[in-house]
Structure 1
Amino acid sequence: MNRTSTSMSEPARWRFGAAEFDELRWELRVAGKVVPMERKPLEVLGHLVRRAGEVVSKDELLDSAWAGRVVVENALSNAVAKLRRAIGDEQQTVLATVPRIGYRLQATVERNAPVERPLPARRLSVYPAVGVLMLAGALMGFALIAYVIHPWKGWLPEDSRDLFIAADFVGGFGLFAVALWRIRQASRPSPAPLAPLNSVLA
């Protein structure tokens, strides 16, 4: 298979008239709005857009969308009818029927690279930060209580006691600051993803 045929077989966004078919998302849009559609009609459309302007036989379309499956006689005509309703082709000027042979897509088709669906950005969970915040509050509270009531008076030197209280308070305050930072990071909106380079160059 040459490079051109390989490129044509890859998923793409196809535009014709007011319609756009995105093969990567299996999504049909008409005038910018998504039109709910089953998979089989979209597979038929994907074959027709690649052969725009040519007559595509019924057997070829059946093989492309229902390969190896036994289908009812009107499965293909029903799929085409759904496509016509979706794109507003009541007069059959876009998806034309060629009697006893097949169908032809009569439109200027534009092929573009598909826009890949971005993965959701990872965000920090707020729950661990809440736990750290509670621990920080407990340490700072303990330091304050120890400073006021002196629970170890008589068995710990005063200098050591003050140093212990100060260290406890500083440690609690540090944990408090870290917890607030994590909560703030987790609450920020995710940054908008960059468009893939191939869609920009297309």
Structure 2
Amino acid sequence: MNSLRDLNSEAVLRFGPYAFYPSQRLILDGDRPLRMGGRALDILQVLVERAGTVVSKDLLIARVWPTSVVEEINLRVHIAALRRALGDGQNGQRYIVNVPQQGYSFIASVQRMHERTPISIDRPQHNLPARLTPVTGRDSVVGSLSRQLPVRRFMTLVGPAGIGKSTVALRVAELLLQHYGDGVWRVDLALIDNPAQLDEHLLRALELNGGLAALAHWHALLVLDNGEHVLERCRTLTEDLMASAPRLSILVTSREPLRARGETVLRLPPLSVPPISVHGVTEAMSYSAVQLFVSRARARQQGFVLREQDIKAVREVCRRLDGLPLAIELAAAQIDALALVGLQAQLDNCFELLTLGRRTAVPRHQSLKAALDWSYERLNVREQTLLHRLAVFKMAFTLQAAVDVIQCAVLRPPVVAGLMQRLVDKSLLSMDTVHGQPRYRLLNTTRRYALEKLEHNAQTLMAVE
């Protein structure tokens, strides 16, 4: 079988009912092209070239991702999708087996032939942006979403500004590309202001001319990104699509749930931050917030390495920034100008500090303040007032403590609980249950933002008086 590794442009590899044309990156089931992602095809080629032998996971990763650092879960997801596409295990036919502690082996008989290669190539469709940086610290949630989404069909990824919802959603879409016959499509809802524009915006993104009814028979994944400002229309649309298009899956990202029928909500947590007791560089680098900071710092400062004497400062930066990926990326971008000591010293002025986002990012992701402005501007007056007043709490607090401190003519005790729940829903306030009692807390970055708003309002009132 070693001769299979010397493939020329005319080679076609036949196994089972399939014909694989490596030069055209095309696999046919009879006359029907199989829709399969590029990574899955790369894996298939490596395995088929070595049919009958065990290929280690390290070799597969090195061949398929030669310039990237990826986790084993990426390989497992693509192997599972490849098996599904080939119908592995159906009608007694087996193609790829896992050899525990060793790797994978292609066990079907493979024939090498010379045939005229097909002219037309049918590739999966998508409009996903090219990924410029690896995704850090999200393997668990990406794996969970990748497994659940094809089954549950409708999921909403929820979290505060800068938590990385879009990054996770796009990574899931990349991994599921080969699963959906009609591809995966991202629709950025932040590009529209009027909910009435949503349907037309969706049709443009999908390049459909026949209206939403054309989706009835689609086997596709739609990623509706940034849906919080068109919540009601997004809720209606997803419910309609779930009912009319039974092979469609939808992944929404939003700062609050849609509360739609059939919706499964998954809250995205911050990256993990090491405790104060962390010892040594190796242990510190096991926390995803530190991994992200170091990765982005290296991109800005060639040769940057985390040293023993740097651990305390990096931990403090990650902790003060709440493990928020956007904030950590923006902070790391300043490593050249400020160094670690200067960066740590400037954290109290975090909104002035965290302003150097990528020029290619959307405006609300070019600074931490812009990301929070996007949420704040969508609060009503009472919600804004409550957020300002809650900023006096440095630590976690109870509902009763909040009522005792912040009640006023605008915030009567009977309405405070409901308003606090709305801030929780909008990912501006976090809630945990401790000994059966709910306790609330503002992220450090959100609290700093709210304090600035509180001080600004106080100065405005003084000026008016």
Give the structure 2 partner of residue 51 of structure 1. Answer: 50
Q: Considering Cα pairs closer than 8 Å and 6+ residues apart, tell me whether 1 or 2 has the greater RCO.
A: 1
**Alignment correspondent of 1:98:** 99
Aligned counterparts of 2:107 and 2:58: Cα–Cα separation in 1: 19
Name the aligned partner's letter for residue 10 of structure 1: N
Task: Among all aligned residue pairs of Structure 1 and Structure 2, give the percentage whose two residues are the same amino acid.
Answer: 35
In the alignment, which of 6, 13, 25 is matched to residue 8 of structure 1? 6
1:147-193 Cα shifts (integer Å, max 9, x gaps): xxxxxxxxxxxxxxxxxxxxxxxxxxxxxxxxxxxxxxxxxxxxxxx
8 Å contact from structure 1 (residues 98, 104) kept in 2:
yes
Q: Distance in 1 between matches of 2:54 and 2:6?
A: 18
CA drift at 1:69:
0.8
Distance in 2 separating the partners of 1:89 and 1:76: 17
Number of positions where the alignment pairs a residue of Structure 1 with one of Structure 2: 116
1:24/1:114 contact within 8 Å kept: no
Contiguous gaps of at least 5 residues in structure 2: 121-465
For residues 74 and 41 of structure 1, the distance between their equivalents in structure 2, rounded to whole angstroms, comes to 14
Which residue number corresponds to residue 174 of structure 1? none
> Quick check: 1:35 aligned with 2:18?
no
- Partners in 2 of 1:68 and 1:114 — Cα distance? 33
Cα distance in 1 for residues equivalent to 2:30 and 2:111: 15
Shift of 1:115: 3.1
- From the superposition, tell whether residues 77 and 112 of structure 1 become closer, same or farther in structure 2 (CA, over 3 Å): same
What is the TM-score normalised by the length of structure 2? 0.23
What displacement does 1:5 show?
A: 6.2
Q: CA deviation at 1:68?
A: 2.4
| C-alpha RMSD of matched pairs (Å) | 2.6
SS at match of 1:104: strand
Deviation at 1:112, TM superposition (A): 2.1
In 2, Cα distance between equivalents of 1:107 and 1:118: 27
Matched AA of 1:111: R
SS at match of 1:24: helix
2:88 corresponds to 1:89 = yes
State the Cα deviation string for residues 1-49 of structure 1 (Å, max 9, x = none): xxx8697143431111112211121111224311111111101111111
Cα deviation code 1:44-70 (max 9, x no counterpart) = 111111111001111111111111211
Give 3-state SS (helix, strand or coil) of 2:77's partner. helix
Q: Partners of 1:118 and 1:104 in 2: how far apart? A: 31
Return the alpha-carbon distance in structure 2 between the equivalents of residues 117 and 89 of structure 1. 25
Distance 1:54 1:36, change over 3 A: same
CA distance in 1, matches of 2:52, 2:101: 17
Where does structure 1 lack aligned partners over 5 or more consecutive residues? 120-202
- The letter for the 2-side match of 1:66 is W
CA distance in 2, matches of 1:70, 1:7: 25
Out of 92-101 and 39-48, give the one that drifted further: 92-101
> For the Cα contact (< 8 Å) 1:21–1:27, is it kept in 2?
yes
Partner in structure 2 of residue 73 of structure 1: 72
Q: Using the alignment, how far apart are the partners of 1:49 and 1:6 within structure 2?
A: 8
Report how far residue 94 of structure 1 moved. Answer: 1.5
Contact 2:5 2:49 in 1 (8 A): no
Q: Per the alignment, do residues 6 and 35 of structure 1 end up closer, same or farther by CA in structure 2, a change over 3 Å counting?
A: closer
Question: Partners of 2:116 and 2:7 in 1: how far apart?
Answer: 16
User: Higher Cα Rg: structure 1 or 2?
Assistant: 1
Q: Distance in 2 between matches of 1:75 and 1:28?
A: 22
Give, in whole Å, the separation in 2 of the partners of 1:60 and 1:10.
Answer: 22
How far the C-alpha of 1:80 sits from its partner, in A, is 1.2
**Aligned partner of residue 74 in structure 1, secondary structure:** helix
Please name the residue that 1:128 is paired with: none
* Structure 2 CA distance for aligned equivalents of residues 36 and 111 of structure 1: 22
